[in-house]
Structure 1
Amino acid sequence: MHSIFGQLPRFLSYYNLEFILQAALTTLLLSISGCVFGFIFGFGIAVLRETTGPLWLPLRAAAVLFVEIFRRIPFLVTLFLVFYACQALNLDISVFAVAVASTCIIGAAFLSEVVRTGFDAIPSQEREAAAAMNFTLAQTLFLIVIPQAWRVILPPTFAFFLSFIKDSALASQLGVVELTYSAKVMNNKGFSPVLGFGAALILYFAISYPLARFGLYLEQRLGFSRYRKP
């Protein structure tokens, strides 16, 4: 403890704090970009799987194959697959871009199932009524299904986002300067691991806790609105 307190003034220097806070911002940007674009692509995949007819069959099969593969591959393996694929294609992109692409792939695979579960939560009688009124698939989804399904979709989406903030630490294996990487750098500079990883712990909590509370608020609010009496 004496050594830790002795290192604390040097650890809290301007340049160290700037480096750690920039790493925290990278963690947040990586998580947000992966989940936002992952949700957009996942939503498209879920809508694609709602299509019918033989013309859409190859795309539906490709969507199912994509989801089933990347939901079962660890995030770290996906990171290296994307990294080496970019090298094989001679793409000159940063490791941060590789990490964002990997998070988008994993996010799309998992969030497409979240969206599809929300679609399936809508009673089939409503879809049948829409079909009886000659609604197209787009009309059925955007006028009937989605306005009700988003209440089911949002809470698990926030839960996935929170878990993804922690999983983003694996991007440090590629050299992305995020929170876990910054803690390793502080440790390599001679500071106690308690200081480096303790700062990372505090910042992970500072990022995750407000989002967790907001997700809980949404879950309670939307859950009440679904079941309240008219």
Structure 2
Amino acid sequence: MAGADAFFTADTAWFLIQALGRTLLMTVIGCSIGLAVGGALAVLRGSRTPWLAPARAVAALHVETFRRLPFLVILMLVLFCVQAIAPDLSVIGVATIAVTLAASAYLSEIVRAGLESVPQAQRDSADMLGLSWFDTLRLVILPQAWGVILPPAAAFMVMFIKDTALASHVGVVELAFAGKIMVGKGVSPMLGFGAVLILYALLSWPLGRAAKALETLLETRRGAAHHR
């Protein structure tokens, strides 16, 4: 097979491992920060404090804007903005910022749905007990909402692994781009992209199974709590 001698080497294996690491790094860091930012945006949008109205409008604008923009467009916008503000930032830094912006918008809606799944009666009971807004959120809402939030949030992260392939447009050598580079150097497309396919599967499958196991565990705990 064409390029087999060049493919089956330690250098090629290390090249693919580095590309895999960049793909995982962008996804984990971007989605983790995105979950934190998205959670803050969801809490802010759910508040009813009058003086926070301007902040709620900004949060809603952020979510609605970045949920409707294709990830490639977000990448290009971040690239041009970063070049003007911090031209020395690496391309993987640019891509991670773009992942964070996209993830924060989508995960904000997931968190908001989880928070709203807690019955209003429980919020009213917390008010009657004299709990502050923060204590109600921390002690009443979040413990129940996590079971609704975490499974789709984990599934989103697994899905977003594939979208990081678009980071190659700003120069990040992630998995898909690594396959293209190898084929350009004479490696058989069957070998180059076959290896990329296998690595994507090895990366996504355990994460998908973990998300499914988490969902099953949380459903079991919710069921046990309802029968107490």
Bin of the TM-score, shorter chain as denominator length: over 0.9
Structure 2: unaligned runs, 5 residues or longer = none
Match of 2:169 among 153, 167, 173: 173
Paired position in structure 1 for 2:99: 103
Give every structure 1 segment of 4 or more consecutive aligned residues whose post-TM-superposition deviation is greater than 6 Å. none
Paired position in structure 2 for 1:12: 8
Paired position in structure 2 for 1:71: 67
Paired position in structure 1 for 2:218: 222
**Cα distance in 2 for residues equivalent to 1:51 and 1:203:** 43
Q: Equivalent residue of 1:214, what SS?
A: helix
Deviation at 1:37, TM superposition (A): 0.6
Check the 8 A contact 1:75/1:106 in 2, yes or no: yes
Q: Equivalent residue of 1:177, what SS?
A: coil
Deviation at 1:133, TM superposition (A): 2.2
Establish whether residue 193 from structure 1 lines up as the match of residue 189 from structure 2. yes
**Cα distance in 1 for residues equivalent to 2:61 and 2:223:** 36
Deviation at 1:131, TM superposition (A): 1.7
Check the 8 A contact 1:114/1:153 in 2, yes or no: yes
Aligned-residue CA RMSD (Å) = 1.1
What are the within-5 Å matches in structure 2 for residues 43-122 of structure 1?
43-122=39-118
Question: Given the superposition, is the C-alpha separation of residues 90 and 213 from structure 1 closer, same or farther in structure 2, using an over 3 Å criterion?
Answer: closer
For normalisation by structure 1, the TM-score amounts to 0.95
**Cα distance in 2 for residues equivalent to 1:44 and 1:82:** 22
**Cα distance in 1 for residues equivalent to 2:124 and 2:5:** 68
Establish whether residue 206 from structure 1 lines up as the match of residue 205 from structure 2. no
Structure 1: unaligned runs, 5 residues or longer = none
Question: Given the superposition, is the C-alpha separation of residues 18 and 63 from structure 1 closer, same or farther in structure 2, using an over 3 Å criterion?
Answer: same
Q: Equivalent residue of 1:91, what SS?
A: coil
For normalisation by structure 2, the TM-score amounts to 0.96
Percent identity over paired residues: 44
Q: Equivalent residue of 1:191, what SS?
A: coil
**Cα distance in 2 for residues equivalent to 1:155 and 1:99:** 25
Aligned partner of 1:205: which letter?
A
Deviation at 1:168, TM superposition (A): 0.5
**Cα distance in 1 for residues equivalent to 2:10 and 2:45:** 51
Q: Per-residue CA shift, 1:79-113, capped at 9, x if unaligned?
A: 00000111233532111100000000011101111
Check the 8 A contact 1:121/1:149 in 2, yes or no: yes
Check the 8 A contact 1:11/1:191 in 2, yes or no: yes
Aligned partner of 1:216: which letter?
K
**Cα distance in 2 for residues equivalent to 1:219 and 1:37:** 21
What are the within-5 Å matches in structure 2 for residues 139-158 of structure 1?
139-158=135-154
Deviation at 1:40, TM superposition (A): 0.8
Deviation at 1:58, TM superposition (A): 0.4
Paired position in structure 1 for 2:157: 161
Q: Per-residue CA shift, 1:157-182, capped at 9, x if unaligned?
A: 11100011111000011110110110
Aligned partner of 1:193: which letter?
P
**Which range moved further: 165-174 or 80-89?**
80-89
**Cα distance in 2 for residues equivalent to 1:154 and 1:82:** 28
